[in-house]
Amino acid sequence: MTLIIKMAVKWNFRCACWGFISSLLASVLLTYCFSPQDYIQRLADGVAAVLLGISSLIAFHISTLRCSESHTLTTLLLSYKWHQGERLATPSILAKINHMWKHPREAQEDLIRELTSRHAKTENGRKNRLGEIQSVEDLRKKHPLTTYDHYRDYIQRLADGEEGVFLDEEPVRFGVTSGTTGAGKKIPLVSFWLEGDALCKQIRRLAVYQGAHRPSPVQKRRFFYIHPKISLTKTGRVISPYMFIKQEDTKRLSELSSPPPAFTITNEPSAVYIHMLFAIADTNLALLSTMFTPQMYRALKCLETNWQAMLEDLSTGQINAKIPLDPDIRRSLQRYLRLDKARVFQLRREFEKGFHGILKRIWPHLVAIEGIDIMGFKKKLEEKFSYGVPCFSWGYGNTEVGHLAINMWLHEKELRYAPCSHMAVLEFIPEQNSSDEDPKTLLIDEVEVGGRYELVLTMRSGLYRYRNGDVIQIVGFHENCPVMRMLYRSGEYLNLVYEKVNTQVVDAAIKNTIQGWPGIQLVDWTCAESPVYDPESSELYYIVFLEVDPDKRELNEVTEEQRSKFDEHLQQEHVYYSGLRGSNTISPAQLKFVRTSTFLELRDFRVAMTTTSVMQYKTPRKLRTQEHVNWMMERVIEIK
């Protein structure tokens, strides 16, 4: 009897019953189709029988699948329809993207004609004679290179409700950039942009399934999300970060392990706790997703710290009172909590064993972890939590363009990305020419392996020949399409005289230095130029702020000579810096160690003061204001 009751609450059992009843009713109706009734009645019975037959086939199919038990009937069917539809569309999607990779110049020509036909009659289109641009060669010859300042007034007028400014359709909403290298920028996101980005997301998911395996269409995924602060334009359009989930997005929410109220939480610790609480309740969870790997690491550290409280919540159906939540959200969330003593017992047994390799033990059917890797957090995840579960860094993109390039080689150590040629027309400025007044660009079929280039993008968001400051390197070709890796942002150069030391060089020098310090791991870093900190001093040097783990006790054992190795490594990495150091034009770089959690505090400080959200935040590698440098200096710890 206990077994029957337990089976009755499982979706597999429910769907088998549904399929059996539907097929039985279909067979009864089919018999009426051959009875001596009028034509209309027999037609109605036949249509009903066919629909019930299809219903029974779907139900029987779902009954054979691995299923998350937290589904409602609505989310079950929505998730099944979405993922099953995507599975059926896979050959078409792969054919489309493979054609673009085999014929990248052709894809770029198609896109520029589509863009100019859409925008030619706008004010910006008439000003820049977009109607005369019918090829990427025309684009290169006739349209100037641009930055955000070229569009600032247009975008503000668009936000104020003016039509025909530089887009052919009204924006769905406005995205806002993270402001890593400056103030956040508003980007209009139109349906044409969203359609292209949706295809990229499908390609991204197919890449993950290729790297691991495709989960069941009714297994849920866990996505780390904190509801961002939003504002509205005069016309009521939402201004928000790229990652923004609306409560009306039922298709997206249907596949996620957290219930809809969880996606309204704005407090990060509370959001992390709630997302992890509902995730651990689902033994059939398929995927752990986040924007960046540090967010995933912090979420799993939250689980390690709070697992006992979470199990108490799952045992009682009440969320821990110490978790700050809006009362209405708390009540809504508690309605979704399912009491499952067997699951609580299983989780407690695994947590008590420790957290090394915990993911595969509590989620035996987990396919992968997904998130863009920064600061080496993928390695930290693999060393502690995710042993046996692949961790994939999916691609490269930004608010202006959406998903621009996808990692199709997920198991390889070196990250590289194949561009999605339908999202943007790509041009490439050779790195050595990026500071020229009007640098020449290369097209997608003109770049060379090993070349380092600043990206220039013409995008579905209406920005033409836009310099966003990203510098990439071509590392090979996939089919006929160049494959790239991200190097650094040109806006984060260190440049006291003329040396232009990029952050990739600084990062390499830091890591080479710390390798010689036993038992110490880098947590994060940023840097500044001395004139920002002390504009009255004539001495020029770099200030590099480091947070390491463990902190002060082990650092006291690091000698001054060992710390000075950083400047030596920097000179080895950069010939111009070495020359300026040799002539004493620049003084030795200063390493400053900051206390534990400084970079988390920096994130919160910048999120509070800028347009960025916690989800899209990336540590700025260069501090640009005296306020920020002084803020860091207040957190420096003294080393003997």
pLDDT in tens, 176-226: 887 655 557 899 999 999 999 999 999 988 888 887 788 999 999 999 998
Type and span of the H or E element at 232: strand 231-232
Q: How many CB atoms lie within 10 A of CB 351?
A: 19
Cα separation of 77 and 374, whole Å?
Answer: 36
Cα separation of 527 and 591, whole Å?
Answer: 9
* Backbone dihedral region for residue 180 (phi beyond 0: left; psi -120 to 50: alpha; all else: beta): alpha
Cα separation of 69 and 12, whole Å?
Answer: 9
Q: Does the pLDDT value for residue 623 go beyond 50?
A: yes
pLDDT in tens, 50-103: 899 999 999 999 999 999 999 999 999 999 999 999 999 999 999 999 999 999
Percent of the chain with pLDDT strictly greater than 90: 61
Encode 537-565 in three state secondary structure.
CCCCCEEEEEEEECCHHHHCCCCHHHHHH
pLDDT of residue 366: 95
Geometric angle at alpha carbon 599, from 502 and 567, rounded to 5°: 40
pLDDT in tens, 508-561: 999 999 887 877 888 899 999 999 999 888 899 999 999 988 755 567 778 888
**Structure-block tokens of residue 142:** 């006739």
Coil, strand or helix at 419: strand
Q: Does the pLDDT value for residue 640 go beyond 70?
A: no
pLDDT of residue 141: 94
More confidently predicted of 55 and 2? 55
pLDDT of residue 6: 38
End-to-end CA distance of the chain: 70
Would you say 425 and 112 are in contact if contact means Cβ atoms under 8 Å apart?
Answer: yes
114 pLDDT tier (thresholds 50, 70, 90) = very high
* Backbone dihedral region for residue 326 (phi beyond 0: left; psi -120 to 50: alpha; all else: beta): beta
8 pLDDT tier (thresholds 50, 70, 90) = very low
Cα separation of 574 and 504, whole Å?
Answer: 11
pLDDT of residue 4: 32
Q: How many CB atoms lie within 10 A of CB 292?
A: 19
pLDDT of residue 7: 36
Would you say 526 and 620 are in contact if contact means Cβ atoms under 8 Å apart?
Answer: yes
Cα separation of 552 and 302, whole Å?
Answer: 24
pLDDT in tens, 294-336: 889 999 999 999 999 999 999 999 999 999 999 999 999 999 9
Q: Position of tokens 């704005």?
A: 266
Task: Provide the residue type at 252 as one letter.
Answer: R
Q: Does the pLDDT value for residue 241 go beyond 90?
A: no
Cα separation of 192 and 207, whole Å?
Answer: 23
Cα separation of 397 and 419, whole Å?
Answer: 10
pLDDT of residue 1: 33
Tell me the DSSP string of 340-376.
-HHHHHHHHHHHTT-STTHHHHH-TT--EEEEE--TT
Cis status, amide bond into 217, omega within 30 of 0? no
Would you say 424 and 472 are in contact if contact means Cβ atoms under 8 Å apart?
Answer: no
Number of H helices, E strands in the chain: 23, 18
Percent of the chain with pLDDT strictly greater than 70: 96
Q: How large is the average pLDDT for residues 583-597?
A: 91
Question: Any idea how long the chain is?
Answer: 640
* DSSP letter, residue 625: S
Cα separation of 48 and 52, whole Å?
Answer: 6
636 pLDDT tier (thresholds 50, 70, 90) = very high
* Closest-CA residue to 617 (of 144, 294, 185): 294
**Structure-block tokens of residue 564:** 């000075």
Would you say 223 and 613 are in contact if contact means Cβ atoms under 8 Å apart?
Answer: no
* Closest-CA residue to 509 (of 416, 591, 629, 583): 591
Q: Does the pLDDT value for residue 34 go beyond 90?
A: no
pLDDT of residue 517: 83
pLDDT in tens, 382-403: 888 988 898 988 888 888 888 9
Q: Based on the number of CB atoms within 10 Å of its own CB, is 374 exposed (0-12), middle (13-18) or buried (19 or more)?
A: middle
pLDDT in tens, 251-277: 788 999 999 999 999 888 999 999 999
* DSSP letter, residue 526: E
Q: Does the pLDDT value for residue 490 go beyond 60?
A: yes
Q: How large is the average pLDDT for residues 551-578?
A: 83
* DSSP letter, residue 128: T
Cα separation of 635 and 637, whole Å?
Answer: 6
**Structure-block tokens of residue 610:** 């800028």
More confidently predicted of 8 and 618? 618
With a CB cutoff of 8 Å and minimum separation 6, the contacts of 529 are 494, 495, 496, 540, 542, 543, 622
Cα separation of 161 and 280, whole Å?
Answer: 45
Q: How large is the average pLDDT for residues 467-493?
A: 90
Mean per-residue pLDDT over the chain, rounded: 89
The least confident of 346-350, 568-572, 604-608 is: 604-608
With a CB cutoff of 8 Å and minimum separation 6, the contacts of 615 are 224, 225, 226, 228, 241, 243, 291, 295
- Global pTM reads 0.85
